[in-house]
Amino acid sequence: MSDNATAGGGTIVSLTFDDGTADQYLVRPLLAAAGLRATFFVNSNTVGSSAAFLSWEELYELAADGHEIGGHTLDHVDLTAVDASEAARQVGQDRDALAARGFAVTGFAYPFGARSESVKSIVHDCGYRSARRSWGLCAAGIKAPGSAEPVAETVPPKDSWAVRSIPSVRTSNTLADLQGVVTRAEDAGGGWVPLVFHRVSDEAGGGGYSVGSATLAAFAEWLAGRASHGTHVRAVQEVVGGA
């Protein structure tokens, strides 16, 4: 199997949204219109804490639509910058809080993508089935040939506790950039393409880590039509699931 291949062939795209910011609720109608499901990695201590973040009711609505809710620590801390007991508290209590609200929590995303072997073990021991990095694949806007990074993760992933992803989508990334992330994987024989989104905003904010709602809507509509190319959109737990 090549580094880009899936076990059954074809290309899988996962749309993942980090941090649970309130503007991510804009994603709900545009994904519904395209018939797509996404994964939202949230920090349970910030949910409903202010108007800047998604509320619990909004998370329930997203889950009811078939979207996955995953863990991202209690407070969005760099797990490599705290001791082991605090890292375990941040990961474990966050998962417990989400599970207590009725969410099937199987996926985790490292804040800032920061991880170590000891942090990976903590995430595993807290009951997660996978943990996503925030880089490791060729960035959006770069043509694949000659790149040092692969264009897709394998299925199953090379390391379920360090799932490689496209680096975080930036304000400067265009619709063509996002489409290119998918088509270059298709051209390379397929694989798993997890994309990392943060803010959903039509303003140049979010520290550059944002995507416009119109761009995202157009990308979702385009993705919905890629089945004829062997490309399908799946939530993370649909690719790396389990109890």
In a domain, 98, yes or no: yes
181 pLDDT higher than 60 = yes
Residue 15 lies in a domain: yes
- What is the pLDDT, as a whole number, of residue 205? 56
pLDDT above 50 for 83 = yes
- pLDDT tens string 105-136: 999 999 999 999 999 999 999 999 999 999 99
End-to-end CA distance of the chain: 27
CATH number where 107 lies = 3.20.20.370
d(CA 225, CA 207): 32
Number of domains present in the structure of the chain: 1
| Sequence-ordered alpha helix ranges (H) in the chain | 27-34, 56-64, 84-100, 117-125, 175-187, 213-224, 236-239
Asked whether residue 172 is assigned to any structural domain, the reply reads: yes
| Residue 58 is assigned to a structural domain of this protein | yes
Structure confidence at residue 4 as a pLDDT band (50, 70, 90): very low
The domain in which residue 86 lies consists of 11-239
What's the token pair of residue 49?
């804490």
Is residue 83 included in any domain, yes or no? yes
User: Phi/psi zone of residue 121: left (φ > 0), alpha (ψ -120 to 50 degrees), beta?
Assistant: alpha
Nearest residue to 128 (alpha-carbon basis) of 78, 55, 209, 72: 72
**pLDDT at res. 242:** 66
The reply to whether the predicted model has a pTM over 0.85 is yes
Query: 5 in a domain, yes or no?
Result: no
